Chain A
Amino acid sequence: AQSVTQPDIHITVSEGASLELRCNYSYGATPYLFWYVQSPGQGLQLLLKYFSGDTLVQGIKGFEAEFKRSQSSFNLRKPSVHWSDAAEYFCAVVTSGTYKYIFGTGTRLKVLA
């Protein structure tokens, strides 16, 4: 069965520091991959998506993610974190040809001033 693992439940970084959030998936073929952000009291906002092609994907708010097939990973990165990036981040995978999203358990990001 497909699964998505976000190994880090909580991450704390200082404002201005770089950020990497990990996401690993379990699936035989290449899935479609997504990162969403959920700010407190808000719904989910799509940061970026990967379907095929260039394995380095640029998203909104200065985020990027890199698909690494050999590691079954799709890690999210940002070179310099802002205090407004404090939120919960969810990685999701969907099997090509279906619509069912499987979400990771989320990583809660705290940003220190």
Chain B
Amino acid sequence: SAVISQKPSRDICQRGTSLTIQCQVDSQVTMMFWYRQQPGQSLTLIATANQGSEATYESGFVIDKFPISRPNLTFSTLTVSNMSPEDSSIYLCSVEETDGAQYFGPGTRLLVL
């Protein structure tokens, strides 16, 4: 399966600031996804990032809060904007491979003070 890396692995941020999370894949993939995992919770899909088009956001997530870029088939970024403590979560990117399964990066652990 593809090797997926994320930067940063963790961060502590002040409220009102923004953080950009990077997701890098070692092979070209069509479908990339961003998830949020709030403390002690399951995963919730934020958006789907396809190269060459705007991201598709799930209900409850908006582009102004979570802008996403997908400049090529191996890279994507998710920005968490104007952060509040409620944004403290693990943010994970994933890719869909040819076997039909999604494979996940190691996650970015964000704490907002």
* Contact with B101, one of A49, A90, A103, A105 (Cβ below 8 angstroms): A49
Contact B41 A49 (CB under 8 A): no
Closest residue to A101 on the B side, CB-wise? B102
Which among B1, B45, B96, B104 is the interface contact of A44 at CB below 8 angstroms?
Answer: B104
Interface contact tally, CB-CB below 8 A: 44
Give bound CA distance, A44 to B101, whole Å: 12
- A99 touches which one: B43, B48, B92 (CB < 8 A)? B48
A45 to B101, CA, bound (A): 11
CB contacts (< 8 Å) of A43 on chain B: these are 4, 92, 104-107
Chain A contacts of B4 at CB under 8 A? 43
Q: Which residues of B contact A99 (CB under 8 A)?
A: 31, 33, 48, 96, 102
Q: CB within 8 Å of A: which of B65-83?
A: none
Instruction: Annotate A92-113 by CB proximity to B: 1 below 8 A, 0 otherwise.
Output: 0000000111011110000000
| Contact with A103, one of B1, B43, B96, B107 (Cβ below 8 angstroms) | B43
Is the Cβ of A90 less than 8 Å from the Cβ of B42?
Answer: yes
Tally of chain A residues near chain B (CB < 8 A) = 19
Measured between beta carbons, the chain A residues less than 8 angstroms from B52 are none
Residue B57 lies at the interface, judged by CB distance under 8 Å to chain A: no
Query: Is the beta-carbon distance between A46 and B103 smaller than 8 angstroms?
Result: yes
B100 x A51 contact (CB < 8 A) = yes
Of all chain B residues, which has the CB nearest A32?
Answer: B100
Other-chain residue from B41, B45, B99, B107 in contact with A101 (beta carbon distance below 8 A):
B45
Confirm or deny: A70 has a beta carbon within 8 angstroms of a beta carbon on chain B.
no
How long is the Cα–Cα vector from A51 to B44 in the complex, in angstroms?
Answer: 22
Q: Is A42 an interface residue (CB 8 A)?
A: yes
**A34 lies within 8 A of chain B by Cβ:** yes
CB distance from B85 to the nearest CB of A (A): 21
Cβ of B31: which chain A residues have Cβ within 8 Å of it? 99
Q: Which 3 A-B pairs have the closest CB atoms?
A: A44-B104, A43-B106, A43-B104
| A-B residue pairs in contact (CB < 8 Å), sample of 8 | A43-B104, A43-B106, A44-B92, A90-B42, A99-B96, A99-B102, A103-B44, A105-B41
Query: Which B residues are within 8 Å of any A CB, using their own CB?
Result: 1, 4, 31, 33, 41-45, 48, 92, 94, 96, 99-107, 109
